[in-house]
Each structure stands twice: as C-alpha cells, then as structure tokens.
Amino acid sequence: MRTQVAIIGAGPAGLLLAHLLHRGGVDAVVIETRSQEYVAARIRAGILESSSVDLLESVGLGERLRAEGHEHRGIYLQLPGERHHLDFVDLAGRSVWVYGQTEVQKDLVAAGTAQVFYEASQVELHSLQDRPYVTFTDSSGAAQRLDADVIAGCDGSFGPSRAAATPGERYERVYPYSWLGILADVAPSTDELIYAWHPGGFALHSMRSETVSRLYLQVPNGTDPADWPDDRIWAELATRLGHGQDGWKLTPGPVTDKSVLPMRSYVQTPMRRGRLFLAGDAAHIVPPTGAKGLNLAVADVALLSRALVALLIDGDARLADSYSDDALRRVWRCTHFSWWMTTMLHASGDPFDAQLQLSQLRWVTSSEAGATGLAENYAGLPIGF
Ligand code: APR
Ligand code: PHB
C-alpha cells in the first residue's frame, strides 16, 4: 500500500491529524494496535481549552461538543475552611469546556475521515531518513507494508515511534505520588471543578455530565485500588474537599470505575527525526493536574497538519522544518504549568513545602496578578503560542 502520511496510533492525536490532513487534501492511513471499541471506551481526560474547542469547531467537529459539553467559566481552589472561585473569563477572557476525550474520539470516528487498520500487530517503522515505510500484521494475520512520504508517530508513550525518534534529549520528572481516580453514577456536587489542597493529600472533583462524576485522590505510589473500598474513598474525598464547610455537601454514589494513575512529566526532543514526526503523548507526558494532555495533543496536530499540507501539497518545507521548535514552545509552557499545579497542590510530607504551597495558594487566590497567571495557562494560550 502507499499513502502520503502513515499515522501510527488512532488516539485523539492520530485521528484528529488524519481528519485535518483529509481536509487539507492529503491522504493518510492510520495503524492502531487496539480494537476500535477499546480505543473508544478508554477513560481519559475531560477538559478542553478554548483553543481546542475553536479548532474542533472550525473543522466540523463542534456540533455535539457545543450541544452536550458544558462550558465552565473557571475552577474552585479549596483549602481547609476556605473555597475560592477563579473566573477565567473575567481574568483571561477565555473559558474551558467539560467534554470527555471518549466523546472527542467518538466524534472523530463518526466523521469517517480516517482510514484505520485496527488490531494491527508487529508495527515497525523503517527507513526514516529517506523513503519511510511501516510494516505490520493486519487483523486477519496478513503481513502488510505501507509506504509513505512521511510517518506521524501518534502512538502514545508506549508505542514504537518514541524509540525510533531518538537519539535526542529526554527530560523526565517522576512524582512521588499517584492519583486514585473514580467514575461514579452520581450528579456532580459542584457546578465547576474543585481542586483541593489538604494536609492529607490533594483531591479533585471533576465531572463528565449531569449524571456522571469523576473524582481523584492523591495516594502513595504503588497503591493497590483493592485497599480502597468505595466507602473509604468517599470518606476521604469528603474530608479533603471540605464536606460540611459553609453547608457544602459531597454526595456519594455508585462507583463504576476505579484505577490508579502514576504522575510523570516527560519531554523528548526533537519531535522529529528525518521523515518521522512525533505528536501528542508519543513526544511528551504531563501530570494530569493542569488538564493539558489532550489539549497539547490537539495543539501539536494543528501545527503538524499545517506543516504537512505545506510540504506535501505545495512542496514548501519551512513549517515542517520548524515544527519541532514551534511545538516545543507550547509543550514546555504546559510542562511548566502542569508541574507548577502539581507541586502547589500535592502533599509531600515536608512541612516547609506545605508552608510554601499555602503561601502560593494565598497569592493565587487573593492577587489578581497571581490569579490571572493561573487562568491564562489553564484556559490555554492560543495555538501557535
Ligand atoms: N502501533 C500502533 N498503535 C499503537 C502502538 C503500536 N505499536 N502502540 C500504541 N498504539 C496506539 C494506542 O493503542 C493508542 O490508541 O496509539 C494510540 C495513542 O493514543 P493516546 O495514548 O491516547 O495518545 P494521544 O493520541 O497522543 O493523545 C493524548 O491521551 O493519554 C492521553 O492525557 C493524554 O489526553 C491525552 C491524550
Ligand atoms: C478529569 O475530569 O478527568 C480531569 C479534570 C481536570 C484535571 C484532570 C483530570 O486537571
């Protein structure tokens, strides 16, 4: 087979890139190891920045998002005995949208613009400097070879593209705590997300819809979810989120999913080797505290699709040549913001750290300059920043 762009991975980065290339008149084929059902059901992020919403809308993917998603003006920051609202619209002129990554994924599949080989195995990248091609075994067991002008590595942190793109620099920070996340069939107890600092550990109240809540607790690395029966989780969430404070109540409900997520920052540079370009989690991982993972993937493929259309339709290599530097500017901004939110909100066990965190949180919740910095980064900078 032959195509212009061979895309490895059918997560949000890979499918959105295929959609954007299709609109730009460039052919692409996507190769994915998992089944379509598995990819669609994976529980992931839930917050879209305004620039991600604008981009999805501008390419015909905004209809269900606008109808079923929920626009939030800001977030709450919770400290023991205090809750503060940060209004991003007042502070930075931008809002965010609650719309699950699973929903974005469904909209991309429904658009039908990507030709995808699901359930591929033995996916290998070859000849990256010159005439690249990908070999794999398709779902029927047949050996396939896909020749392309360019390969886009959108295969997340465990795919083969990241390794194929080295040598380069790798930057990493592993955090000494994880998140225990639950999905619950209960109406959210809050209208906007609550990020809570607590001496016993961070907690977050997020949501997916009017009837589904998503909540997280900071737990030690290596935590076994089996040690956290539902009652223990709800009791700890109630304590950390401020149940009873000023009459606020956390309503528990049936837990439908429970998992532990490690927290890591990772950036690999450059985001290109020869004719292989990396996008999304294949090139970088952020801890979830700043809600940036999905938005960074969207921003990467917005730049990459533009660069590949210029390269493959107009023969102009300038944007392709600057892609890695252009994308990394935003990657490092989001990497810093996610690290900053993470270290400001999680208990480290060190009393000096705790005092610095409280001082920082007081500044962010009482100074317009402090609040605006958080708002501008959380609600997201324009694509191309
Ligand atoms: N061959 C083909 N596909 C592969 C391979 C492989 N060898 N290995 C992994 N994949 C697929 C995965 O099954 C997955 O569907 O690549 C896809 C990568 O998708 P994501 O992990 O969702 O990454 P990305 O599309 O970059 O999206 C970033 O995902 O992890 C979240 O927080 C992150 O929300 C952000 C978003
Ligand atoms: C989520 O809803 O899963 C979510 C929201 C905000 C975050 C992280 C995760 O910062």
Q: Which atom of ligand 2 is nearest to the CA of 341?
A: 10
Which ligand 2 atom lies nearest to the CA of residue 288?
8
Q: What pLDDT was estimated at residue 124?
A: 98
Could you give the percent of the chain with pLDDT greater than 90?
A: 96
Name the residue among 321, 276, 286, 285 with its Cα closest to residue 303: 321
Task: Report the nearest-CA residue for atom 22 of ligand 1.
Answer: 11
- Concatenated DSSP letters of 170-194: EEEEEEEEEEEEEEESS--SSSS-E
pLDDT of residue 274: 96
The SS3 of residue 147 is strand
Pocket of ligand 1 (CB under 6 A): 8-14, 31-34, 39, 44-45, 101, 123, 154-156, 158-160, 280-281, 293-294, 297
pLDDT at residue 45 tops 90: no
**H or E stretch covering 232:** helix 230-241
Q: What is the mean pLDDT of the chain?
A: 96
Fold exhibited by the domain 5-171+263-379 = FAD/NAD(P)-binding domain (3.50.50)
> From the CA of 14, which ligand is nearest?
1
Look up 72 and say whether it is catalytic: yes
3-state helix, strand and coil shares in percent for the chain, rounded to the nearest 5:
40, 30, 30
Interval between CA 133 and ligand 1 midpoint (Å): 20
Residue 2 confidence (pLDDT) above 90: yes
From 175, 177, 195, 266, active-site residue: 195
CB within 8 A of 55, min separation 6: which ones? 298, 302, 383
Does position 384 have pLDDT exceeding 80, yes or no? no
How remote is the CA of residue 153 from the centroid of ligand 1, in Å? 9
Amino acid at 166: T
248: which 2 tokens? 């606020």
As to burial, measured by CB atoms within 10 angstroms (0-12 exposed, 13-18 middle, 19+ buried), residue 129 is: exposed
CA–chain centroid gap for 98, Å, is 13
CA distance 196 to 215: 11
Nearest-angstrom CA–CA distance, 131 and 327: 24
Residue 318 has pLDDT above 90, yes or no: yes
| Structure confidence by residue, pLDDT tens digits, 88-118 | 999 999 999 999 999 999 999 999 999 999 9
Q: Which pTM was predicted? A: 0.96
CA of 156 to the centre of ligand 1 (A): 4
Q: Is 106 part of the annotated catalytic residue set?
A: no
